[in-house]
A and B are shown apart, each in its own frame.
Chain A
């Protein structure tokens, strides 16, 4: 009785502290606010959501059954179906879902101020993203670990299944393009960054060779070797940067680098996995977990002051980093940090095949996403500890603030975010870069933020080293996503083409491998190319497109879940997935509508295309802009059609799902549940 009371008091206290912290963040109008407020608010919100909401979801909505045998137990084959300790599964699951998205999204969304991003990362995750990951994992576990596409087909119908498949393919293409652009912008005219990123390729190959042939299966040994080599590569990058001859080799325009990234993507897609992809993934996982841990420790010990205001004037849609109002674009931009459709693919991929007991679903599905959300909060902190003037100088494209440093700083200062040319010069030279102006994409500003945090903790002397370490850390797992994504895209395309010509479906038939890889690479390579030649930086077009696609996929996953809940007689609980679904439909449709129909040339694709066409015809464009204008105009049209396609896919799935639900309530025949029958678990 007494313990129960103490327990209650503790939870009331956590709730109070959390509420105070959230209010403190929301109501603060001082010059700065300490990062501890954010961490406290986040941890309290997560604790309460996990303790109460996820427990309620597990016991009352999903009816998790601890006595039921999981697919890992029933189908145990010692290879892909293996009952595994929950911490191990958690590690695998988190390593799979945590990519560069939650680092880039919050950084870009910081143009609205720290408040909108923080609130959406916290509440979007606990009410939307975590729920999506958890229910998808649960339903997949009950269906022998089936994939989202298969579940959509089984539960909603062939239309839903096809839409999920096409959606996944489209999001992959856009995702890779935007990530490629982030890397290119980080390497542009930076011999240090370029040489370090280039060095990760031979290092990964060495590690791969070691694991495969020198000491087969000694994964940890090889990884340690690789991590040491990577750190050496960061250090020797500094030496190359100072070498008058060598630095020329690695000093390139964005376009040249984009072609290299495209060539690399093609090579990586056709190379055997053991040589490049697998070892790169080990390195990136270790780097990712290590750096996130280091960042957490640094933020906890330093608790820096956040200098960005709670809200900026750019909530009206005039922001320099990307155009568009707070609603709906903050939700589209944050993307993976709050809710990510991509996670549903992991939750219905490897993870359900490893769970040894259904009770672990709560920790892995819900808890894994909470941790990802926390990573997004830390990325937001790292972006907002910078002086806002510096933040905008790094992230605003030259097409918006002007090419000349003096022009850019005077414009940014006139917005109320003071910054000087001198300040930017000192910062760039501290970070070992020639210039930090207009380094769009979020990676450089995150790296500057991380370097200044690490620098204050471990000494200012190594700022340049930390900056390039952060760039390498971001680049290595962006390139892993690029490799893995191109490969997955290739498999999907081979599968689709196989419907037309069966021979194409043979994944090891060389002509098929080459053609499908080339098509996938051409797909994202096109968007990357356009992004690089776009004077407005490209990120402002591609990231919203990616956000829309990602939220669309999340909506499809929530449709599947809602449909299953209703058909299994749990209509009274269907709001659990239904409300986040409704929100996503509203957000995605509004964003898509604005991207298509807005007359603001920084938001609407058609408006931008028409504006540029008119200027081109009138001859008022700068000559260098006029040469690329036709391509940019074509691209704006293409993006508009693509957006319409995404939103159409979304509505088709939603309507198909609603139709099924209606049929069910009218007592008509619907697709029966594909849940596998109960079998008692024999593991303790």
Chain B
């Protein structure tokens, strides 16, 4: 039961974009090898990421009739 609730809560968070930053960090870690040589950009801060995410979200047609 509690596992189900947890899963449901996870879905709600994902659907609303509440965990967007966590997912971004995960994606970042998976795709950038921080220990590798050469310059690697640091991940965005939560605030900066959210700004970009929100602005991007509203550039196309997002709502219907």
A217 interface neighbour in B12, B47, B59, B65, Cβ under 8 Å: B47
Which interface residue of B21, B23, B59 has the most chain A CB atoms within 10 A? Answer: B59
Chain A neighbourhood of B21, CB < 8 A: 217
B17 to A, closest residue via Cβ: A219
A277 within 8 A of B: yes
Stretch at the interface among A46-54, A94-102, A558-566: A94-102
Cβ–Cβ contact B64 & A220, under 8 A: no
Q: Which one, B13, B27, B46, B58, contacts A78 given CB within 8 A?
A: B27
- In this assembly, does B38 line the interface, its C-beta being within 8 Å of a C-beta of chain A? no
Q: Is the CB of B58 within 8 A of A96?
A: no
Determine the distance from Cα of A99 to Cα of B64 in the docked complex, in whole angstroms: 6
Interface residues of B in 20-34 (CB under 8 A from A): 20-21, 23-24, 27-28, 31
- 1/0 contact string of B42-56 vs chain A (CB within 8 Å): 000011011111111
Decide if A78 touches B14 in the complex (CB within 8 Å).
no
The interface bits of chain A over 254-291 (1 if a CB of B lies within 8 angstroms of the residue's CB, else 0) are: 00000000000000000001100110011000000000
Most chain A CB neighbours (cut-off 10 Å) among B18, B52, B53, B62: B62
B22 to A, closest residue via Cβ: A217
Q: Interface residue count for B (Cβ, 8 Å)?
A: 34
Is B65 touching A212 in the complex (CB atoms < 8 A)? Answer: no
Given A79-B53, A273-B55: A350 touches B62 (CB 8 Å cut-off): yes
Instruction: Please tell me if A85 contacts chain B, counting CB pairs below 8 Å.
Output: yes
Instruction: Give the tally of cross-chain contacts (CB within 8 A).
Output: 111
- A82 contacts across to B, CB distance below 8 A: 23, 27
Quick one: which of A180-225 are within 8 Å of B by CB?
A: 211-212, 216-220, 223
| CB atoms of B50 and A217 under 8 A apart | yes
Contact between A88 and B62, CB atoms less than 8 A apart: no
Assess the B58–A487 pair: CB atoms within 8 A. yes
For chain A residues 535-557, which have a beta carbon within 8 Å of chain B? 546, 550
Interface flag for B63 (CB, 8 Å): yes
Closest to B13 in A: A220
Partner-contacting stretch, out of A304-312, A338-346, A373-381, A389-397? A338-346
- A211–B50 Cα distance when bound, in Å, is 9
Min C-beta distance of B61 to chain A, whole Å: 5
Judged by a CB distance under 8 angstroms, whether B5 is at the interface is no
Q: By the criterion CB–CB under 8 Å, are A99 and B65 in contact?
A: yes
Cross-chain contact A85 with B14 (CB below 8 angstroms): yes
Query: A480 on the interface (CB 8 Å rule)?
Result: yes
**Which secondary structure characterizes the binding site on chain A?**
helix
- B58 cross-chain contacts in A, Cβ below 8 A: 273, 277-278, 484, 487
Bound together, the chains give a CA A101 to CA B59 distance in angstroms of 22
CB neighbours of A85 from chain B (8 A): 11, 14
Contact yes or no, B27 A484, CB < 8 A: no
Q: Is B1 an interface residue, CB under 8 A from the partner?
A: no
Query: Is B16 interfacial (CB 8 A cutoff)?
Result: yes
B63 lies within 8 A of A217 (CB):
no
Residues of B within 8 A of A168 (CB): 61
- Tell yes or no: B15 within 8 A of A by CB: yes
Minimum CB–CB distance for B56 against chain A, Å: 6
Chain B min CB distance to A361 (Å): 18
Chain A to chain B contacts (Cβ below 8 Å), 25 pairs: A80-B56, A82-B23, A82-B27, A85-B14, A88-B14, A168-B61, A211-B54, A216-B47, A216-B51, A217-B47, A219-B16, A219-B18, A219-B20, A220-B12, A220-B18, A273-B58, A278-B58, A342-B64, A343-B64, A345-B61, A346-B62, A480-B63, A481-B64, A488-B60, A546-B65
Chain B residues near A (Cβ < 8 Å): 11-18, 20-21, 23-24, 27-28, 31, 46-47, 49-65
Known: A219-B18, A273-B58, A343-B64. 17 other contacts (CB 8 A): A76-B27, A79-B53, A92-B15, A97-B64, A99-B64, A101-B64, A147-B60, A212-B50, A217-B49, A273-B57, A274-B54, A278-B54, A345-B61, A481-B64, A484-B63, A485-B63, A487-B58
Give 8 closest A-B pairs by Cβ, nearest first.
Answer: A78-B27, A101-B65, A217-B50, A216-B47, A484-B63, A273-B58, A220-B18, A91-B15
